Structure 1
């Protein structure tokens, strides 16, 4: 357990270490070519050190409900099963079984370490699989994402489920394994049915223009008929009762989050630039881009609902992959390494800006 860091400074340490790594990476992008041996040594060594340290830092954090919200709830559930409690069936059953099995072989602290591994390792795996020796840039973008920390220490079950989805995508060329992990992600958290359904649609049709039009249309439809869509999806049940509760509790009274809509446009702008302007042709990228547009359009329709951030994350977890993918697959710019460094800085800049607003008094 890492208990020498004050809990109120836990995120502060994380965000500022991330800032240092982003700045060092930016400096390397200015001074070295992407495939320069010195740069590859830097990215490999820093990448693996960061991977291990971030798993340990998050996995061995002290148990706290005040600073890590739902962590205390997960800990209480673990202790309940450790004392012989009956299996809870009203939530995601597979995750409950997972917790119960863990109680027989590990302590509650080790359980959170395992959760950190399940959340973070797939980000490394999908980055390594797709981008080989340049995996560090993709992994770094995952970790410095605005949504990374909340689902590492709070919405743990949702975070693990989306990471299992990423793990599934890393087996894109091995369809039986990919399908197995996609099913597993939904068993961990039923809300993953949305991106799974969206990804399945793209297997049949993956023209970005069509889904881009749908995404744009979702904005006026939400502004004009927000409560209507919440009522529709609530009546459908949409996977489980909790989702219906999130929607119906919104009541259309929450404000339209233009700031989050702006954030959601980052991969849209990036994807449109490389697909339409640079004519980047990649079957998997098209599918991931379209999956993002479908899932994010759904969130826009219910953006005023209670806990709409939970719906936003069903697309946001793909954001960093969509932004960095073209830059690590093909050469699109004369000074491509500099562009990569600038993209990393700009993407992390939003995260740090939000940190400054919400954490610095």
Structure 2
């Protein structure tokens, strides 16, 4: 366990470390071309170092409810199961069996270390699967995303479930394995039923135009009929009673720094929509896997926009935001559009990370 870092500075160190890496990446891009063998070797070494640094830094953090939210709740589950309690089978059954299993041979700190591995490793795995040479950029975008820290240290169950979804995407050409991962993800956290269902829709119909128009329509529909959509989705029993409570409960200002229709978060979400639209419709980027991911993102993000005024709507935002970095960076990795591609990628990452860094001073300011 890491005890030499003050708890109040834990996130600060992460965010400034990310800032350093983002700026260093820009400087490196000015000096070495993308396809240079030295650059490829540098990216691989940097990626592995980053992977293990994050794994130990996040996985060995102290237990704290004040700074790491739900971490205390999960530690209580662990202690209860370690003392022989029966598994809670009311909801997210596999997550509780997972904690019960770990409690048989590990300490509570081992639980969080293993859980951190399950959270981060699929991001690395999918990045390597999509680009053996330039996977660092994809992985890097994952870890500097706005939601990365929150769902690795607080909304842990949700973060792990969406990472299992990402792990499943590594096998998008092996549907049985992919859907097995999806099933495990849903049993870790039921909200992943939404991205799973969205991905299945994209398997049936994979043309982005219709989904794009649906996303555009969700904004005025939410502005005009926001409460109607919240009531509708709650009555349909999306997820479980707890999630219905997220939709219909009284607005809690602590759920977001401001409540109501969050234009700042809609603009953040729209950045990925714009990138997808630009490459698919303007640059004729034709990639079947990218279409699946983009369409899944559009469906999930449109759902969130419709219920954006709901209490804890950030829980639903993450069901699309965990894909936002992938949607943005993927076309830059898969096809060369610019003479200085490495520099272009570095600048895109700077712009993308700017929102995360800005929200460090706004969203996390207490």
* Residue in 2 that maps onto 1:169: 169
* Residue in 2 that maps onto 1:349: 354
> Shift in Å at residue 332 of structure 1?
1.3
Distance 2:198 2:252 in 1: 25
* Residue in 2 that maps onto 1:119: 119
Q: Quick check: 1:252–1:304 contact (8 Å CA) kept in 2?
A: no
* Residue in 1 that maps onto 2:129: 129
Q: 1:294 aligns with which of 281, 290, 299?
A: 299
Distance 1:83 1:252 in 2: 35
Report the secondary structure of 1:132's partner residue.
coil
- Trace 1:319-334 onto structure 2 (pairs within 5 A): 319-334=324-339
Question: What's the Cα RMSD here?
Answer: 1.3
Q: 1:258 aligns with which of 257, 263, 280?
A: 263
* Residue in 1 that maps onto 2:256: none
Unaligned runs of 5+ in 2: 254-258
* Residue in 1 that maps onto 2:226: 226
> Which of 36-45 and 95-104 deviates more?
36-45
Q: Quick check: 1:226–1:252 contact (8 Å CA) kept in 2?
A: no
* Residue in 2 that maps onto 1:244: 244
- 1:143-181 alpha-carbon deviations (Å, 9 max, x no partner): 000000000000000000000000000111111111110
TM-score (norm 2): 0.96
- Asked whether 1:184 is paired with 2:189, we answer no
> Shift in Å at residue 30 of structure 1?
1.4
Distance 2:263 2:50 in 1: 33
Distance 2:3 2:53 in 1: 15
- Asked whether 1:311 is paired with 2:319, we answer no
Note closer, same or farther for the CA distance 1:126–1:108 as it changes in structure 2 (3 Å cut): same
Aligned length: 361
- Asked whether 1:51 is paired with 2:51, we answer yes
TM-score (norm 1): 0.98
> Shift in Å at residue 359 of structure 1?
4.5
Report the secondary structure of 2:133's partner residue.
helix
Distance 2:209 2:98 in 1: 41
Unaligned runs of 5+ in 1: none
Distance 1:194 1:233 in 2: 12
Q: Quick check: 1:250–1:304 contact (8 Å CA) kept in 2?
A: no
> Which of 16-25 and 249-258 deviates more?
249-258
> Shift in Å at residue 250 of structure 1?
4.6
Distance 1:158 1:87 in 2: 19
